[in-house]
Amino acid sequence: MTIKRVLVTGGAGFLGSHLCERLIQQGHDIICLDNFFTSQKSNVQHLLQYNNFELIRHDVTHPIWLEVDEIYNLACPAAPGHYQFNPIKTMKTSVMGAINTLGMAKRCGARILQASTSEVYGDPTVHPQPESYRGNVNPIGPRACYDEGKRAAETLFSDYHRRHQLDTRVVRIFNTYGPRMHPFDGRVVSNFIIQALRGEDITIFGDGSQTRSFCYRDDLVEGIIRLMAYEGDDEHMPVNIGNPNEFTIKQLAELTLKLTASSSKIEYKPLPEDDPLQRQPDITRAKALLDWEPTIELEEGLAHTIEYFRAIDLSDYRAPTPNH
Ligand code: NAD
Ligand code: UDP
C-alpha cells in the first residue's frame, strides 16, 4: 500500500477524529487541522502519541500552505445550534474553506473529498432522496447558512473538477451519531441521551412524527474512506451515505428511554422553523459504486453511544464561545 500524506480539516470533531484514527491505523501520515470551534483537543489527545499524526490549530477560512496527497474537508459546525450560533461564519467556513482546500488540492495535485450533507435536499418533496433530487431549501431561513453554504461548496467542487480536472469526491452525509458527539450540541441523539441520563424531560420538537434515518459513525467513516479510494465512472458526482432505516423522533425518544432505563417524561416543544419533516437516504449509488451499506442498526449503535455518555465527565465540555 502507498503511504499518503492526508489532511483532515475538522479532524478534531466527532467524525473527523474517528476518520483520523482509521487513517492512522492504515499507516498514512495524517495532518489534523481544526480551530476547535465545536470540538476539544481531548478528542484527539490519544492520537498525539503516533509519529504519523500531527495536529494544527488553524481556521479554514484562511489559506494555509501544506504539501498533501489527499484532503478530507470536514471543517464546519454540523449541529443546528452550533451552525446558527454565528451563521455568517458558518457560510464563510463552507465557502472559503472549500476555496482554500480546493486551491491547495489544485497546487498539490491532491484528491479532495467534501463532507456535504442531506441538508442540500432541504425539506424534501421526494422520498427517499436519491442524489439526482435537487432539493427544497429555503435560501433565507435559519438553516440556510448551513444548507446553502454546503450547496455552494458542492458547486465549487463541481467547477474545480470541470474547469481544472481536479480529482474531487462529494459525500452527502445523513444524520450520523455515536461516541464523541459533543454532549451539548443539541442534536437529537446527544440531547435525548443526556436528558435521559440526567432524569430531565426529553424535549420533542413538534409532535415527534418527523423522521430521520440514523447512521452509526463507524459505518459512515467506512463509507467515506471507500469513496475517497473509489476510481470509476462519475467518481466526482455526489454519493449519499446514511442508514436507510427511518424512525420518527418519537420512536427515537422511546428507544432512548428504554435503553437508559430512565424515568424521564416526554415534553413537547414547538417545531423549529424549516425543520425537515422527513429524511431517508436512497443508497443505491453507494451500494453499486462502493459495495457499501450500513451494518450497525439503531438499537446497537445507541447502546454504544449511551455507554460513552455515561463514562465522560460533562464538566470537561463547553458550548461554542463567541470569539469565532
Ligand atoms: P463536529 O462539529 O463535531 O466537527 C466539525 C469540526 O470542524 C469541529 O472539530 C470544529 O471545531 C471544526 N471547525 C468548524 N469550523 C472550522 C473552521 N472555520 N476552521 C477549522 N475547523 C473548523 O461535526 P461532525 O458531525 O463531526 O461533522 C463533520 C462534517 O460532516 C461537517 O462538515 C458536517 O457538516 C458534515 N456532516 C455531518 C453530519 C452528521 O450527522 N454528523 C451530517 C451531515 C454532514
Ligand atoms: N429534535 C427534537 N428534540 C431535540 C433536538 C432535536 O425533537 O431535543 C428534533 C429536531 O427538531 C429534528 C430532529 O430532532 O426534527 C433532528 O434534529 P437534529 O438537530 O439532530 O438534526 P437535523 O436533522 O434537524 O439537522
pLDDT in tens, 190-228: 999 999 999 999 999 999 999 999 999 999 999 999 999
**292 in a structural domain:** no
Going by alpha carbons, the residue nearest to atom 4 of ligand 1 is 13
What's the gap in Å between 207 CA and the centre of ligand 2?
12
Verify that 122 and 181 share a domain, yes or no.
no
Please say if 146 is a catalytic residue: yes
Please list, in sequence order, all residues whose beta carbon lies within 8 angstroms of the beta carbon of residue 169, skipping any fewer than 6 positions away: 111, 112, 113, 114, 227, 228, 230, 235, 236, 239
Verify that 59 and 181 share a domain, yes or no.
no
Verify that 171 and 311 share a domain, yes or no.
no
Mean pLDDT confidence for 104-111: 98
Collapsed DSSP state (helix, strand, coil) of residue 7: strand
Q: Is the CB of 249 under 6 A from ligand 2?
A: yes
Verify that 47 and 69 share a domain, yes or no.
yes
Confidence band of 321 (pLDDT split at 50, 70, 90): low
**287 in a structural domain:** no
Verify that 104 and 230 share a domain, yes or no.
yes
The CATH number given to whatever domain includes residue 99 is 3.40.50.720
pLDDT at site 320: 63
What's the gap in Å between 39 CA and the centre of ligand 1?
9
Q: What is the pTM of this model?
A: 0.97
Residues with CB under 6 A from ligand 1: 9-10, 12-16, 34-39, 59-61, 74-78, 82, 93, 115, 117, 173, 175-176, 182
Q: Which of 121, 146, 160, 216 is catalytic?
A: 146
Q: How many CB atoms lie within 10 A of CB 271?
A: 16
- pLDDT at residue 324 greater than cutoff 50: no
Residue 232 belongs to domain spanning:
5-176+216-241
Verify that 72 and 122 share a domain, yes or no.
yes
Q: Give the total number of structural domains in the chain.
A: 2
Q: Using one digit for the tens of pLDDT, what is the confidence trace for 18-56?
A: 999 999 999 999 999 999 999 999 999 999 999 999 999
